[in-house]
Structure 1
Amino acid sequence: MGSRYFFYRVRHELERKSGKLINKHPINLNLSNKITLKKWFEQIQFDLNPVQLEPNDNLQELKLKAEKILSGNVYFFNAEWMDLGLDYDWITNPSTNFKYDVSKHWSTIPDLSPEAGDIKYVWEKSRFSWLLTLIQYDYNYGIDLGEFVFSQIESWIDSNPINRGPNWRCSQEISLRIFNWYLALRCYKDHTSLTDVRWEKIQDVIYASLHHVFHHIDFSRIAVRNNHAITETLFLSLSELLFPFIPETKIWSKKGRDWFEKEIDYQIYEDGTFLQFSMNYHRVVIQLLSFGISTSERAGKPFSKTVYERAYKSLDFLYQCLQEENGWLPNYGSNDGALFFPWSDTDYKDYKPQLNTLHYILTGKFLYADKVNCREVIWCSIKPSNIQQFPVINKLEGIKEYPLGGYVLIRDSGSFTFIRCGSHKDRPAQADNLHVDIWVNGINYFRDSGTYKYNTSKELSTYFTGTTSHNSVIVNDESQMLKGSRFIWYYWTQKLKSKISENSKEFVFEGLISAFRQLNPKGEHERIVRKIKGENKWIIQDQIFNLSEFDKKQIWHFDKENIAIEGMEEGKYLNKNIEMSYNSDYYGVMEKGQAISFNFKDKISTNIEIKS
């Protein structure tokens, strides 16, 4: 991770143990110069523009979700409903019933605790993304929800004293909460339930939230450096535009803008791939870019040229991976169920609405013109950029490589092959190099097993983050990297070779990585993928070098029956082994799946056919 990371972590631990973090984040913060709502609204230029939906625009899905929310349910990680009740205290983990001590300063509360369970279950409702569902339901069904919305916000404020308890633990969660409160305030700005007393409370929390994020920004920019840093620096960057009544935002916004532009430049590689090696977290960045670019342009303060260029490149990469039949992408990399601004009621796995918004901003054209996929654009009065305009993105056929992130895509006759072959200059989350996803007509036949949970048993964590849960090769029953604690891996895999080609009969990928270096510093894994043109047939060859004394196994995860797969070594068919397989399409949800494996000595050739 480098010396910058090391020295910051040392400093952070000293600050935490000495109590300096408590002094930097006092519990008695309040905004001294509060203003009226009227004066605030005179300072900013942004209103929501309601969308009247038709029955075929997922109107019933909107109604179902809203009624559940109004009865005390929460849609955890866009996967499953949990009934918390209308008197939920905001600090109890519903998966373990552990109640956090809200009198404790946030810096004394651990992220990871076997007793408390996964802290994300506490954060989920407090993110307030569900407000967007209620806002849309209110308008389309004529049900006045202003009092409900502001009573919930006030309940949260009363239950979560400033800088105390679990909901002040994460600066990203703090940023998202205020973004969503801001949208609600704009929607219900004239509502009688937004009383002076409530507005004073809200102002104090907005001020304390920005203060917290600014004074703890090094943690996300140095120790974490992923989508957290992008979210938090964007929050600071937009602070003067959204909350100009806070004097410090002049400084916080200037520094935040500089940090945000640097994070985009660093985290999104020049080919449009993303340092977290995760489809879902890349979509998170897409939503933040859409919100940030549209807001900053409306105020006449656009971001740097690099931000626009990396946004466009990101859009291209994700769109090329998208399946038009359903909007799905490979369930590749860490996936915690995040969808910060759920304007659409399509399935969580459908990326069309979010890509559509950013594409409209950057090109002036929609990828999808239907009202469901355009809802965010209309509601937020988003306009095409007047700073940068790019060409419309088209879906490419054939073979394409994204060399900096380390991906190869093959799209041919209704099939889609996704191959990972990359180097790691940034922290890997899963041991999945040379993983292959195979899709036909929008159906994921050979899949990534997903993520499940960040805080779970050691066995499940090892499985979902390890090579065993991917379509790759394991050696000596070990992953291609050595697992450390939590999100840490040692002996990062590195790309040694990647080559793509094609001839009249096939598309060909040839990749070589350093791997299993915990077993031998010279360990290597070569994979060659041949996709037969015009047919749903693949030939995958794996060879392991400098690890001849260890057992080797090639694994394939699938959930469909109409497949044929055979492994061969030295001209002989290999026995198929039935393997344990789990599948997690949504965070916190796990199902049993199917997997087969082939034991081999050093080199294996596998034929795959999907029978449509």
Structure 2
Amino acid sequence: MKALRYLMLLGHISRQMGWRYVAFRAGYWLQGKTGMLKLRFPRNAISRCFINIEEWRDRKPAFLFERELLKIEKNAGNDDLKWRVAQIKAGKFRYFSHQWYEVHDWHTNALTGFVYPKSRHWSDVDDLSPKTGDIKYVWEKSRFAFLYDLIRYDYHFSEDQSETVFKLISDWIDSNPVNCGPNWKCGQEIALRVLNWTFALHYYRFSTTLNQVLLNKIVGSIYDQTRHVADNIRFSKIAVRNNHVLTEALGLFTVGSMFPFFSKSLKWKRGGKNLFEKEIISQIAPDGSYLQYSMNYHRVVVQLLTWGIRLSELHGDYMCEMVYARAKASLNFLRACQSNANGQLPNYGHNDGALFFLLTECKFRDFRPQMAALANVLGIDLGYQTGKWSEEGQWLAGCCRQFLIKISPRRISTFSGDGYYVIRNAGTLTFLRCGGYRSRPFQADHNHLDIWVNGRNILHDAGTWLYNADSESVSYFSGTRSHNTIMIENFDQMQKHYRFIWTHWIINAKGTAGFAGNAYWIEAGFEGFLHVGKGIVHRRRVVKKAGQLHWLVEDRVSNVPAGMRIRQLWHPDETFKDDFRIRATDDKGCEIPRIVGSGWYSEVYGQKIECAVVMFESEGSFIRTVIECCK
């Protein structure tokens, strides 16, 4: 029976992902089991002088910024930045923008305390074991995102941090033999580390701390790491195909551009740029929506676009026009979903805490720094004016360009490619997603409704918490239970399997939005719960009264199997009941009792808090709900 279940699962995966994906994953698994990956990725390091330090300083390829030309207003009163740098020097590091852990090596999981063996070949490192915990708690420190705090402190306080920066980089190289340990397992993590080291090397190019021996060591490690990325990038292209391959492609392009003395630099530069262009065009829809169905991952792509477009322009090797078009479309999409009050977006889709280049004092959920930086590169006015979010753009793109285009959010925005519908009215934002899949799904969240009032997310998405956690928690955060939508009994809209695998994908998803009379409306529907029964369709209609804090939500579920109930779920914020009320009736107008239970809310990765969940349950097929201000 177990073998039969695996065969059925394989059949589902092959139909949804394609036989090329299945064949590649099987072949890659076989390479790991037979030791082929150890042969392909040997443990020998490059130890030689690639370039004389004086020649390297004289060459100075164009980069995102020039230290002597920076015009960022210095702020020596930035106590938060000063405090963070003090923590770093005390051996404490920030994880996922909000948690601090004291970790003195590069192989300890900060959450579980598990220490990975640093001499074991990366292909033998187990990153999925419950014992080891979420490997992201090892990778996070080794990304070296903390370098941006040190560099910004150096700039704002005029206190040289080169000794600390190079000491940490040198220690990482000594502690992480080539192709050994957990920090060589993920190509994206390696590429991101190389990007951050490149940023630091450019800033400290003329530092007296940097000598020939140290330069040889760092440049040699950059070569080794980039070679690993180049030799393993097919895994990200075929088996992952998301922001991972974009980061790796940008890493190749950046190293090829900034270290032209490597024998493979030209190949990496051309190959990285071509792959980056191809994947941007493929992963971002013409309307600007992103194939990972995640706001935070879309922001990651925005950061990569800013770096990639700007660097290519500086080197006279421009990205193709379609990359520019997709970048502009991305800004239009994200701006439509963004709160004017605080720069936040719905916490929709997977959110693993990724924020690559930490170059402002803005909060993690504020998307303005990253969007403003890309807008600066493209000459687009997003209507932000000037604020602390502007600093990132000054580091990555220099002085503000003349604005040629202005993007202003519309009252009604529809992104039918991936099924996003947004209403903006009188300080409110009403967001609904109901669309098909261009790539594998991550969460069963169709017809999820997010409602914002003046920057306050009164009905929210539960978030992500952790990728490698107990099965119950993973099922909760990725499943339908954590979203403002409909369940049938305790069934998700699709069937959950191991880790990120879903089968019985929803089909026939579509929707529309408009304005009539004195109200805005969204209508959307899909066929789902295919593992529960045939022909089950969930249709949702949302009506927002113009100028009023009043929403009407009508859910109709057809072909529900006999004896099963439908459950309408809502996840309100902590003070919702003080300012708003929610009530529901069935198709006969009879009131449905409100059931208040408990669930979880994870605003940032690795942190969860208990929260209230409001549920309306019916043995019928229709629920009509009114959400309104009670003051």
TM-score, normalising length: structure 1: 0.96
Task: Tell me what 2:9 maps to.
Answer: none
Q: 2:582 aligns with which of 558, 565, 573?
A: 565
Per the alignment, residue 29 of structure 2 pairs with 13
Question: Corresponding residue for 2:622?
Answer: 603
Note the 1:317-336 alignment, pairs <5 A. Answer: 317-336=333-352
Whether the 8 Å CA contact 1:477–1:551 is kept in 2: the answer is: no
Taking the aligned partners of 1:186 and 1:402, their CA distance within structure 2 comes to 40
Contact 1:531–1:538, Cα closer than 8 Å, also in 2: yes
Q: Is the 8 A contact 1:356 1:367 kept in 2?
A: no
Greater shift, 517-526 or 280-289, is seen at 517-526
Partner of 2:84: 65
Cα distance in 2, alignment partners of residues 352 and 475 from structure 1: 38
Q: Aligned with 2:319: secondary structure?
A: coil
The aligned residue for residue 566 of structure 2 is: 552
The answer as to 2:135 corresponding to 1:119 is: yes
- Provide the rounded CA distance (Å) in 1 between the counterparts of 2:475 and 2:386: 42
**Separation of aligned partners in 1, 2:345 and 2:465:** 17
Paired residues for 1:312-391 under 5 Å: 312-363=328-379, 365=381, 367-370=383-386, 372-382=388-398, 391=405
Query: Aligned AA for 1:300?
Result: G
| Contact kept in structure 1, 2:421 and 2:512, CA below 8 Å | no
Moved more, 489-498 or 359-368: 359-368
Is the Cα contact below 8 Å between 1:449 and 1:464 reproduced in 2? yes
Maintained 8 Å contact 1:294/1:383: no
Maintained 8 Å contact 1:35/1:245: yes
DSSP 3-state at the match of 1:507 = strand
SS at match of 1:98: coil
Check conservation: 2:380, 2:405, Cα contact below 8 A: no
Count matched residues.
605
Deviating more after overlay: 235-244 vs 118-127:
235-244
Q: Report the CA distance shift for 1:51/1:136 in structure 2 as closer, same or farther (over 3 A).
A: farther
| CA–CA distance in structure 2, aligned partners of residues 312 and 364 of structure 1 | 8
Match of 1:155 in 2: 171
The residue matched to 1:520 in structure 2 has which SS? Answer: coil
1:291 equivalenced with 2:307 (yes/no): yes
Moved more, 212-221 or 539-548: 539-548
Asked if 1:28 is matched to 2:44, the reply is yes
Amino acid at match of 2:241: R
- Rounded Cα–Cα distance in structure 2 between residues aligned with 1:611 and 1:290: 44
In structure 1, the residue matched to 2:4 is none
Could you tell me which of 461, 475, 485 is aligned with 2:474?
461
The SS at the match of 1:451 is: coil
Work out whether 1:523 is the aligned partner of 2:536.
Answer: yes
CA distance 1:367–1:33, shift in 2 (3 Å): farther
CA distance in structure 2 between the aligned counterparts of 1:15 and 1:77, rounded to whole angstroms: 33
- Give the SS at the match of 2:236: helix
Tell me, yes or no, if the aligned pair for 2:250 and 2:276 is still in contact at 8 Å. Answer: yes
Classify the secondary structure of the residue corresponding to 2:554.
strand
Residue 484 of structure 1 corresponds to which residue in structure 2?
A: 497
Residues 543-552 or 369-378, more deviating: 369-378
Is the contact made by 1:452 and 1:588 (CA closer than 8 Å) also made in structure 2?
A: yes
Distance 1:496 1:52 in 2: 47
> Once the 2 structures are TM-superposed, how far is the Cα of residue 52 of structure 1 from its aligned partner?
5.1
Cα shift readout 1:523-543 (whole Å, capped 9, x = no counterpart):
211111111111111111111
Partner of 1:577: 595
d(CA) in 1 for partners of 2:473, 2:565: 22
Spell out, residue by residue over 1:183-224, the C-alpha distance to the aligned partner (whole angstroms, 9 max, x if none): 111111121221222111111111111110111101111101
C-alpha contact (below 8 Å) 1:27/1:164 kept by paired residues: yes
Amino acid at match of 2:627: I
SS at match of 2:405: coil
Shift of 1:378: 2.2
| Counterpart position of 1:80 | 99
- Distance change in 2, residues 1:403/1:229 (3 Å): same
Aligned residue identity for 1:571: G
From 505, 518, 531, the equivalent of 1:505 is 518
Q: In the aligned structure 1, how far is the partner of 2:72 from the partner of 2:18?
A: 52
1:186 aligns with: 202
Q: Which amino acid aligns with 2:571?
A: H
Q: Quote the offset at 1:365 in angstroms.
A: 4.4
**1:379 deviation in Å?**
2.6
1:215-226 maps to which residues of 2 (within 5 A)?
Answer: 215-226=231-242
Q: Do 2:452 and 2:459's aligned partners in 1 also have CA atoms closer than 8 Å? A: yes
**2:282 counterpart of 1:246:** no
2:296 counterpart of 1:280 = yes
Distance 1:13 1:154, change over 3 A: same
Query: Within 1, Cα distance between the matches of 2:162 and 2:112?
Result: 32
Cα deviation, residue 53, structure 1: 4.2
Aligned to 1:418: 431
- The residue type paired with residue 573 of structure 1 is E
Change (3 A) 1:32 1:148: closer
| Residue 233 (1) aligns with residue 249 (2) | yes
The letter of the residue matching 1:606 is: T
Match of 1:395 among 393, 405, 409: 409
Letter in 1 for 2:220: D
Percent identity of equivalent pairs: 39
Aligned residue in 2 for 1:204: 220
Question: Which whole-Å CA distance do the structure 2 matches of 1:379 and 1:51 have between them?
Answer: 9
Q: Give SS of 1:92's match.
A: coil
- The CA deviation at 1:390 is 5.7
Q: Give the corresponding residue for 1:591.
A: 609
Cα pair 1:360 1:367 within 8 Å, conserved: no
CA distance in 1, matches of 2:62, 2:273: 19
Q: Distance in 1 between matches of 2:89 and 2:133?
A: 26
Residues 379 and 496 of structure 1: is their aligned pair in 2 closer, same or farther, counting only changes over 3 Å?
A: closer
Is 1:543–2:556 an aligned residue pair? yes
Kept in 2, the 8 Å contact 1:53–1:59? The answer is: no
The answer to whether the 8 Å contact 2:53/2:211 transfers is no
1:453, distance to aligned residue in structure 2 (A): 0.4
Q: Is the 8 A contact 2:522 2:542 kept in 1?
A: yes
Task: Look up the match of 2:108.
Answer: 92
